[in-house]
Structure 1
Amino acid sequence: MLEAVTLGIGIGQPWRALYDSIWQPEFFPRWASGLSRSTLRNEGDRWRAQGPEGVAWIRFTPYNEFGVMDHHVDVGSGPEIHVPLRIIGNEGGAEVILTLFRQPGMSDEKFRADKQWVRRDLEALHDLMSPNGSGTA
């Protein structure tokens, strides 16, 4: 088993409204900094992106009634990386939770850096989707 950490942030919107606003792959570059300099291009059942380490291929979970936004990332060097991402209800708001798996051979330093990166991205999503943000999809 891979070491894993689950990170999350609360957003003051009903979960379904939030999910409906952000589930599309085209929305990810607005908050996911690894894709922020990229225009995602749909190429069949996957999307092509320019990530920080070069071209990445991403497969996204289709729209669903459960708030699942999982995606699989292929950077061309090793197996696809599964990124579980969920939007769940929390009374009148929502929790956005992402599980980060430590990849084989990943150093402690790199794993810590990836956790910080995910936290920054979740905070960017929070700011974007706050009442004063511009998160309308």
Structure 2
Amino acid sequence: MNSTHDTSRHIGVHIDRPVQEVYAYTSDPTNLPAWARGLAGAVEKVGDQWVATASALGRVVVSFAPPNEFGVLDHDVTLPSGVTIYNPLRVIADGTGSEVVFTLRRQPEMTDAEFERDAGAVADDLARLRDLLESEG
């Protein structure tokens, strides 16, 4: 069952690319399938919403923070059940590179094992993002 601790975990990765490049790539929803496989195997714009299809989640609606100069890439993911999950995501300058930090928040009724599985999936997605962006440089 839930532990009373560890309700949020910050998972980050350093990317040896300028913060503006990392933000530009990461904020483009059409790039999600390339790096955020836990969220999007495919993504399409339907009206004014982005709809992602993920194997584990099904079709979800993803709503992003508006473009901004602060590196904020927060997004809401609305599941087929109607439940909306808020996902804090930041791109932060780190010297001449960047750090991308995702805050994983434990959902109600989530077990320790499920939370650890999600943390591993987020870490894998961020590593894939780093590898993609550093290979393009």
TM-score band w.r.t. shorter chain: 0.7 to 0.9
Question: Does the CA-based 8 Å contact 2:12-2:100 persist in structure 1?
Answer: yes
User: 1:44-75, CA deviations, whole angstroms, 9 ceiling, x for partnerless residues?
Assistant: 34211111231111111121111111110011
Question: Does the CA-based 8 Å contact 2:40-2:52 persist in structure 1?
Answer: no
2:1 is equivalent to residue 9 of structure 1: no
Residue 22 (structure 1) shift: 2.5
**CA RMSD, aligned part only?**
1.9
Residue 104 (structure 1) shift: 0.2
Of the three residues 70, 79, 84, the one matched with 1:80 is: 84
Segments of 5+ residues of structure 2 without an aligned counterpart are none
Question: 1:68 aligns to what?
Answer: 72
Segments of 5+ residues of structure 1 without an aligned counterpart are none
Query: Could you state the TM-score of these two structures normalised by the residue count of structure 1?
Result: 0.88
Query: Structure 1 residues 42 and 84 mapped into 2: Cα distance closer, same or farther (>3 Å)?
Result: same
User: 1:82-103, CA deviations, whole angstroms, 9 ceiling, x for partnerless residues?
Assistant: 1111000011110000000000
Query: Could you state the TM-score of these two structures normalised by the residue count of structure 2?
Result: 0.88
Distance, in Å, in 2 between the alignment partners of 1:55 and 1:78 is 11
Q: Identity percentage over the alignment?
A: 39
2:118 is equivalent to residue 97 of structure 1: no
2:41 is equivalent to residue 37 of structure 1: yes
Q: Matched residue of 1:114: which SS? A: helix
